[in-house]
Protein backbone atom coordinates (compact mmCIF):
# COMPACT_ATOMS: atom_id res chain seq x y z
CA UNK A 1 0.00 0.00 0.00
CA UNK A 2 2.77 2.41 0.99
CA UNK A 3 4.69 1.57 -2.22
CA UNK A 4 1.63 2.27 -4.33
CA UNK A 5 1.21 5.67 -2.78
CA UNK A 6 4.90 6.50 -3.52
CA UNK A 7 4.44 5.38 -7.14
CA UNK A 8 1.43 7.63 -7.47
CA UNK A 9 3.40 10.48 -5.97
CA UNK A 10 6.26 9.97 -8.44
CA UNK A 11 3.83 9.76 -11.35
CA UNK A 12 2.16 13.03 -10.33
CA UNK A 13 5.53 14.76 -9.92
CA UNK A 14 6.64 13.62 -13.39
CA UNK A 15 3.34 14.75 -14.87
CA UNK A 16 3.59 18.18 -13.29
CA UNK A 17 7.20 18.51 -14.44
CA UNK A 18 6.08 17.72 -18.01
CA UNK A 19 3.34 20.35 -17.74
CA UNK A 20 5.77 22.95 -16.39
CA UNK A 21 8.25 22.12 -19.17
CA UNK A 22 5.55 22.54 -21.80
CA UNK A 23 4.55 25.84 -20.34
CA UNK A 24 8.11 27.15 -20.20
CA UNK A 25 8.94 26.02 -23.74
CA UNK A 26 5.73 27.60 -25.06
CA UNK A 27 6.76 30.83 -23.38
CA UNK A 28 10.28 30.52 -24.81
CA UNK A 29 9.06 29.93 -28.32
CA UNK A 30 6.89 33.02 -27.96
CA UNK A 31 10.06 34.90 -27.09
CA UNK A 32 11.80 33.53 -30.16
CA UNK A 33 8.97 34.85 -32.34
CA UNK A 34 9.16 38.19 -30.62
CA UNK A 35 12.84 38.44 -31.35
CA UNK A 36 12.51 37.38 -34.98
CA UNK A 37 9.48 39.30 -36.15
CA UNK A 38 10.59 42.95 -36.06
CA UNK A 39 13.40 42.27 -38.55
CA UNK A 40 11.13 40.72 -41.15
CA UNK A 41 9.27 43.21 -43.35
CA UNK A 42 5.97 41.88 -44.68
CA UNK A 43 6.79 40.82 -48.25
CA UNK A 44 4.76 40.15 -51.34
CA UNK A 45 5.14 36.61 -52.62
CA UNK A 46 8.13 36.74 -54.93
CA UNK A 47 10.75 34.32 -56.12
CA UNK A 48 13.46 36.39 -54.46
CA UNK A 49 13.72 39.50 -52.35
CA UNK A 50 15.46 42.76 -53.26
CA UNK A 51 16.05 45.71 -50.97
CA UNK A 52 14.55 49.02 -52.08
CA UNK A 53 17.87 50.28 -53.47
CA UNK A 54 18.61 47.02 -55.29
CA UNK A 55 15.14 47.11 -56.79
CA UNK A 56 15.73 50.69 -57.99
CA UNK A 57 18.98 49.57 -59.66
CA UNK A 58 17.30 46.65 -61.40
CA UNK A 59 14.41 48.84 -62.54
CA UNK A 60 16.81 51.45 -63.95
CA UNK A 61 18.91 48.88 -65.76
CA UNK A 62 16.21 46.60 -67.08
CA UNK A 63 12.98 48.56 -67.33
CA UNK A 64 14.45 51.98 -68.12
CA UNK A 65 17.28 50.70 -70.36
CA UNK A 66 19.88 52.32 -68.10
CA UNK A 67 18.25 55.77 -68.37
CA UNK A 68 16.96 57.95 -65.57
CA UNK A 69 13.30 57.29 -64.91
CA UNK A 70 10.74 58.20 -62.25
CA UNK A 71 10.93 56.21 -59.03
CA UNK A 72 8.13 53.85 -58.03
CA UNK A 73 7.27 51.06 -55.63
CA UNK A 74 5.41 47.90 -56.62
CA UNK A 75 2.27 47.70 -54.51
CA UNK A 76 0.77 44.52 -55.97
CA UNK A 77 1.13 42.00 -58.76
CA UNK A 78 -2.13 40.71 -60.22
CA UNK A 79 -2.97 37.99 -62.73
CA UNK A 80 -2.51 38.69 -66.47
CA UNK A 81 0.78 40.50 -65.71
CA UNK A 82 -0.95 43.52 -64.24
CA UNK A 83 1.14 45.44 -61.74
CA UNK A 84 0.04 48.13 -59.34
CA UNK A 85 2.69 50.82 -58.78
CA UNK A 86 2.95 53.85 -56.58
CA UNK A 87 5.06 56.59 -58.16
CA UNK A 88 7.00 59.07 -56.08
CA UNK A 89 6.57 62.75 -56.70
CA UNK A 90 8.27 63.58 -60.03
CA UNK A 91 8.66 66.56 -62.34
CA UNK A 92 7.92 66.45 -66.07
CA UNK A 93 8.20 68.81 -69.03
CA UNK A 94 4.99 68.71 -71.04
CA UNK A 95 3.69 69.66 -74.46
CA UNK A 96 0.27 71.30 -74.73
CA UNK A 97 -2.71 68.97 -75.21
CA UNK A 98 -3.28 68.24 -78.89
CA UNK A 99 -6.05 66.70 -80.93
CA UNK A 100 -4.92 64.87 -84.03
CA UNK A 101 -5.92 61.71 -85.85
CA UNK A 102 -2.23 60.95 -86.40
CA UNK A 103 -1.07 59.57 -83.06
CA UNK A 104 2.39 58.49 -84.27
CA UNK A 105 3.05 61.88 -85.86
CA UNK A 106 1.91 63.65 -82.68
CA UNK A 107 4.15 61.52 -80.44
CA UNK A 108 7.20 61.94 -82.67
CA UNK A 109 6.78 65.71 -83.01
CA UNK A 110 6.28 66.07 -79.26
CA UNK A 111 9.32 63.90 -78.55
CA UNK A 112 11.36 66.10 -80.84
CA UNK A 113 10.36 69.34 -79.03
CA UNK A 114 11.06 67.74 -75.63
CA UNK A 115 14.39 66.27 -76.77
CA UNK A 116 15.49 69.74 -77.91
CA UNK A 117 15.06 70.94 -74.34
CA UNK A 118 17.15 68.00 -73.09
CA UNK A 119 19.87 68.78 -75.61
CA UNK A 120 20.24 72.36 -74.42
CA UNK A 121 17.38 74.46 -75.83
CA UNK A 122 16.70 76.05 -72.46
CA UNK A 123 17.64 79.30 -70.76
CA UNK A 124 20.86 77.97 -69.27
CA UNK A 125 21.91 75.89 -72.27
CA UNK A 126 21.87 72.92 -69.87
CA UNK A 127 22.06 69.40 -71.34
CA UNK A 128 21.24 66.18 -69.52
CA UNK A 129 21.39 62.41 -70.04
CA UNK A 130 18.58 60.53 -71.84
CA UNK A 131 15.49 59.80 -69.74
CA UNK A 132 12.66 57.28 -69.96
CA UNK A 133 9.81 56.68 -70.54
CA UNK A 134 8.17 59.10 -72.97
CA UNK A 135 4.86 59.44 -71.17
CA UNK A 136 1.73 60.37 -73.12
CA UNK A 137 -1.40 61.29 -71.19
CA UNK A 138 -4.40 60.52 -73.36
CA UNK A 139 -7.99 61.64 -72.76
CA UNK A 140 -10.74 59.80 -74.47
CA UNK A 141 -14.30 60.04 -73.37
CA UNK A 142 -16.06 58.23 -76.21
CA UNK A 143 -15.75 54.52 -76.95
CA UNK A 144 -12.66 53.35 -78.80
CA UNK A 145 -14.88 51.22 -81.02
CA UNK A 146 -15.79 54.21 -83.21
CA UNK A 147 -14.43 54.47 -86.76
CA UNK A 148 -11.44 56.75 -86.15
CA UNK A 149 -10.86 56.46 -82.42
CA UNK A 150 -7.63 58.44 -82.36
CA UNK A 151 -9.38 61.51 -83.84
CA UNK A 152 -11.46 61.73 -80.66
CA UNK A 153 -8.55 61.69 -78.23
CA UNK A 154 -6.38 64.48 -76.93
CA UNK A 155 -2.74 63.83 -76.19
CA UNK A 156 -0.29 65.56 -73.88
CA UNK A 157 3.29 64.27 -73.99
CA UNK A 158 5.63 64.38 -70.99
CA UNK A 159 9.35 63.95 -70.47
CA UNK A 160 10.79 63.09 -67.05
CA UNK A 161 12.99 65.77 -65.48
CA UNK A 162 15.52 64.06 -63.18
CA UNK A 163 15.99 65.61 -59.71
CA UNK A 164 19.76 66.13 -60.16
CA UNK A 165 18.92 69.12 -62.41
CA UNK A 166 17.74 71.00 -59.31
CA UNK A 167 15.42 73.82 -60.35
CA UNK A 168 15.17 73.04 -64.05
CA UNK A 169 15.95 75.87 -66.50
CA UNK A 170 12.99 77.37 -68.39
CA UNK A 171 12.55 75.99 -71.91
CA UNK A 172 13.18 78.41 -74.80
CA UNK A 173 10.10 76.97 -76.53
CA UNK A 174 7.37 78.66 -74.51
CA UNK A 175 4.64 76.19 -75.46
CA UNK A 176 6.34 73.68 -73.15
CA UNK A 177 5.62 73.76 -69.41
CA UNK A 178 6.46 71.85 -66.22
CA UNK A 179 3.97 69.50 -64.59
CA UNK A 180 4.21 67.32 -61.50
CA UNK A 181 2.69 63.87 -61.19
CA UNK A 182 -0.53 63.88 -59.15
CA UNK A 183 0.04 63.23 -55.41
CA UNK A 184 0.05 59.52 -54.43
CA UNK A 185 0.03 58.51 -58.07
CA UNK A 186 -1.21 54.90 -58.04
CA UNK A 187 -1.43 53.19 -61.41
CA UNK A 188 -2.28 49.78 -62.79
CA UNK A 189 0.32 48.89 -65.40
CA UNK A 190 0.06 46.55 -68.33
CA UNK A 191 3.01 45.92 -70.66
CA UNK A 192 2.81 45.09 -74.35
CA UNK A 193 5.04 45.15 -77.40
CA UNK A 194 3.98 45.99 -80.92
CA UNK A 195 2.39 48.91 -82.76
CA UNK A 196 0.62 51.73 -81.02
CA UNK A 197 -1.95 52.75 -83.60
CA UNK A 198 -4.05 49.54 -83.64
CA UNK A 199 -2.48 47.08 -81.24
CA UNK A 200 -2.57 49.45 -78.29
CA UNK A 201 -6.32 50.00 -78.47
CA UNK A 202 -6.94 46.25 -78.39
CA UNK A 203 -4.56 45.90 -75.45
CA UNK A 204 -6.31 48.75 -73.66
CA UNK A 205 -9.67 47.01 -74.09
CA UNK A 206 -8.40 43.72 -72.71
CA UNK A 207 -6.57 45.49 -69.86
CA UNK A 208 -9.79 47.23 -68.86
CA UNK A 209 -11.86 44.04 -68.95
CA UNK A 210 -9.28 42.32 -66.75
CA UNK A 211 -9.45 45.18 -64.22
CA UNK A 212 -13.26 44.97 -64.34
CA UNK A 213 -13.10 41.23 -63.70
CA UNK A 214 -10.77 41.83 -60.75
CA UNK A 215 -13.23 44.51 -59.53
CA UNK A 216 -10.50 47.15 -59.42
CA UNK A 217 -11.52 50.78 -59.80
CA UNK A 218 -9.70 52.94 -62.38
CA UNK A 219 -10.05 56.32 -64.07
CA UNK A 220 -12.19 55.76 -67.18
CA UNK A 221 -11.55 59.11 -68.85
CA UNK A 222 -7.87 58.93 -69.48
CA UNK A 223 -4.92 56.58 -69.69
CA UNK A 224 -1.18 56.87 -70.07
CA UNK A 225 1.05 55.35 -72.69
CA UNK A 226 4.66 54.97 -71.51
CA UNK A 227 7.20 54.14 -74.22
CA UNK A 228 10.65 52.73 -73.50
CA UNK A 229 12.79 52.77 -76.62
CA UNK A 230 14.78 49.62 -77.31
CA UNK A 231 17.71 49.25 -79.67
CA UNK A 232 15.24 48.94 -82.56
CA UNK A 233 11.48 49.14 -83.07
CA UNK A 234 10.94 45.45 -82.33
CA UNK A 235 12.59 46.00 -78.95
CA UNK A 236 10.40 48.99 -78.04
CA UNK A 237 8.30 48.33 -75.00
CA UNK A 238 5.06 50.07 -74.11
CA UNK A 239 3.08 50.27 -70.92
CA UNK A 240 -0.51 51.34 -70.51
CA UNK A 241 -1.16 52.98 -67.16
CA UNK A 242 -4.66 53.36 -65.73
CA UNK A 243 -5.05 55.48 -62.63
CA UNK A 244 -6.29 53.79 -59.48
CA UNK A 245 -9.33 55.56 -57.96
C1 LIG B 1 7.53 74.18 -79.51
O2 LIG B 1 6.77 73.07 -79.02
C3 LIG B 1 5.55 72.85 -79.71
C4 LIG B 1 4.82 71.73 -78.98
O5 LIG B 1 5.47 70.51 -79.06
C6 LIG B 1 5.84 72.50 -81.17
O7 LIG B 1 4.64 72.35 -81.87
C8 LIG B 1 6.66 73.65 -81.80
O9 LIG B 1 7.06 73.28 -83.10
C10 LIG B 1 7.91 73.92 -80.96
N11 LIG B 1 8.61 75.07 -81.49
C12 LIG B 1 9.89 75.04 -81.83
C13 LIG B 1 10.47 76.30 -82.33
O14 LIG B 1 10.56 74.02 -81.76
C1 LIG C 1 12.79 60.63 -78.96
O2 LIG C 1 13.82 61.21 -79.75
C3 LIG C 1 15.12 60.72 -79.46
C4 LIG C 1 16.16 61.53 -80.21
O5 LIG C 1 15.66 62.31 -81.20
C6 LIG C 1 15.19 59.26 -79.83
O7 LIG C 1 16.48 58.74 -79.56
C8 LIG C 1 14.15 58.53 -79.01
O9 LIG C 1 14.16 57.17 -79.39
C10 LIG C 1 12.76 59.13 -79.19
N11 LIG C 1 11.88 58.52 -78.23
C12 LIG C 1 10.68 58.07 -78.53
C13 LIG C 1 9.92 57.43 -77.44
O14 LIG C 1 10.20 58.16 -79.65
Is 45 among the domain residues?
Answer: no
- Tell how far the Cα of 96 is from the centroid of ligand 1, in angstroms: 10
- Asked if residue 133 has a cis previous peptide bond (ω within 30° of 0), the answer is yes
Is 22 among the domain residues?
Answer: yes
| Whether residue 52 has pLDDT greater than 90 | no
Q: Average pLDDT, whole number, for the chain?
A: 84
The predicted pLDDT at position 198 comes to 84
Instruction: Tell me the residue range of the domain where 24 lies.
Output: 2-39
Is 59 among the domain residues?
Answer: no
Q: Whose CA is nearest to atom 5 of ligand 1?
A: 110
Is 79 among the domain residues?
Answer: no
Do 199 and 190 touch, CB atoms closer than 8 A? no
> Looking at the CA of 93, which ligand is closest?
1
97 and 209 co-located in one domain: yes
Q: Confidence band (pLDDT; 50, 70, 90) for 37?
A: very low
Least confident of 70-74, 89-93, 154-158: 70-74
Q: Confidence band (pLDDT; 50, 70, 90) for 55?
A: confident
Residue 111 Cβ < 6 Å to ligand 1: no
7 and 111 co-located in one domain: no
108 and 225 co-located in one domain: yes
The predicted pLDDT at position 172 comes to 98
The predicted pLDDT at position 183 comes to 84
19 and 137 co-located in one domain: no
Give the nearest ligand 2 atom to 111 CA.
Answer: 1
Number of domains in the chain: 2
Instruction: Report the residue among 93, 134, 172, 175 best suited for mutation to probe ligand 1: largest number of ligand atoms under 8 A from its CB.
Output: 175
pLDDT digits (tens, 9 = 90+) for 64-89: 888 999 999 999 999 888 999 999 99
The predicted pLDDT at position 33 comes to 43
| Whether residue 139 has pLDDT greater than 50 | yes
Residue 181 Cβ < 6 Å to ligand 1: no
223 and 128 co-located in one domain: yes
171 and 225 co-located in one domain: yes
| Whether residue 27 has pLDDT greater than 60 | no
107 and 166 co-located in one domain: yes
Instruction: Report the residue among 64, 111, 131 best suited for mutation to probe ligand 2: largest number of ligand atoms under 8 A from its CB.
Output: 111
- Tell how far the Cα of 197 is from the centroid of ligand 2, in angstroms: 17
Q: Confidence band (pLDDT; 50, 70, 90) for 30?
A: very low
Is 48 among the domain residues?
Answer: no
For 211, other C-beta atoms within 10 Å of its C-beta total: 19
Do 190 and 162 touch, CB atoms closer than 8 A? no
- Tell how far the Cα of 112 is from the centroid of ligand 1, in angstroms: 8
Q: Confidence band (pLDDT; 50, 70, 90) for 12?
A: low
Find, among 108, 104, 183, the residue nearest to 150 by Cα.
104
Give the nearest ligand 2 atom to 133 CA.
Answer: 13
30 and 120 co-located in one domain: no
141 and 204 co-located in one domain: yes
Residue 67 Cβ < 6 Å to ligand 2: no
Average pLDDT over residues 50-64: 78
DSSP state for residue 47 in the 8-state scheme: S
Q: Confidence band (pLDDT; 50, 70, 90) for 140?
A: confident
Find, among 151, 147, 134, the residue nearest to 228 by Cα.
134
35 and 115 co-located in one domain: no
The predicted pLDDT at position 19 comes to 52
Amino acid sequence: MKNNRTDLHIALTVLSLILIFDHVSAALSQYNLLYESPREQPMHPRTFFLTASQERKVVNEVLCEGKDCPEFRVVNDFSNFIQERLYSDANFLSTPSQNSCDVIGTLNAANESLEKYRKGENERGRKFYPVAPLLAQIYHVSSIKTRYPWCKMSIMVNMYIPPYLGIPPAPTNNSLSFKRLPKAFHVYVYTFTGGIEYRMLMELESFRSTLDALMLCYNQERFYLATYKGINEVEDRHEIWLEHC
